[in-house]
Amino acid sequence: MRVVILAGGRGTRLAEETVVRPKPLVEIGGRPILWHIMSIYGAHGFNDFVVCLGYKGHLVKEYFANYALHSCDVTFDLANGHTEIHDGPLEPWRIFCVETGMETMTGGRLKRAANLIGDGTFMLTYGDGVADVDIPRLLEFRRSHGRAATVTAVRPLGRFGALWLDDDMRRVRAFEEKPEGDRAWVNGGFFVLEPRVLDYIAGDDTYFEHEPLERLASEGELMAYRHPSFWHPMDTARDKEALEELWESGTAPWKVW
């Protein structure tokens, strides 16, 4: 089963980082967040990836082209112009990097990768969010209902401390630091999809989150796998700092490998 990762957006809300590299290459603990996402899947034995590129996509290719060089011991025989990369801690990943266009929307990027997806069930997620999703349980849930699409539903933390006010709207009855947003379940990525989902995508200008998911929901073909545990996007510098702190603390919940 292949894992498709959407990695082509500009990441404008993280412009201080993405001016020089695509958001999936912004690092957490010295490794791109893309590597962290792939490691989540790899820990469960899913090692075939389709990475949909766009903005500064060549840098993603260069990262993987030099991955072994940067990760392993190397012998340079300068006289003979020979380079030998020795055995090292390399992941058993096979990575298809697909150029899906600079201005293509999320649905369009997925559609452009159709020839690599094939005719079987596949997984899809965004290249800027991590979670401690139990992938085998997610797939078990998918098998239990047999619908065309499964989305992982999450409850993000609120950005600010919440004030619970008395009826006169003056006295603070309770305070809660960063509660779970407005208690709503939201799209956390980590989809499991059937190939027929691609038929819901008109072309490059289609946002996957708009008409395709809306139609799938209205037709009863979209199911939610509720994930009440850890999920965190990397939309802003503040998000990056929070993920860095978790990684440096040695308690990063998404580190399941």
Task: Count the domains in the chain.
Answer: 1
In angstroms, the CA 86 to CA 69 distance is 9
- Predicted pLDDT at 89: 83
Beta-strand relationship, 94-99 and 82-85: unpaired
CA terminus-to-terminus distance, the chain: 19
For residue 236, how many other CB atoms are within 10 A of its CB?
Answer: 16
Query: Which residue type is seen at 90?
Result: L
**pLDDT of the residue at 237:** 94
The secondary structure of residue 52, as a DSSP letter, is E
The enclosing domain of 57 has a CATH number of: 3.90.550.10
Residue 62: what pLDDT?
A: 98
Q: Which residue, chain included where needed, has tokens 């079987």?
A: 120
Comparing C-alpha atoms, which of 86, 3, 36, 4 is closest to residue 234? 36
pLDDT at position 163 is 60
Q: Does the residue 257 lie in any domain?
A: no
> Considering the domain boundaries, does residue 255 fall inside one?
no
- What pLDDT was estimated at residue 212? 96
Between CA 122 and CA 154 the distance in angstroms is 20
CB atoms within 10 A of CB 204: 15
Residue 54's pLDDT is what?
A: 97
State the residue range of the domain holding 227: 3-249
- Give a yes or no: residue 31 inside a domain: yes
Successive 10-residue mean pLDDT values, the chain, 257 residues: 96 91 97 98 98 98 96 95 90 98 97 95 98 98 96 81 64 63 82 98 97 95 96 95 97 96
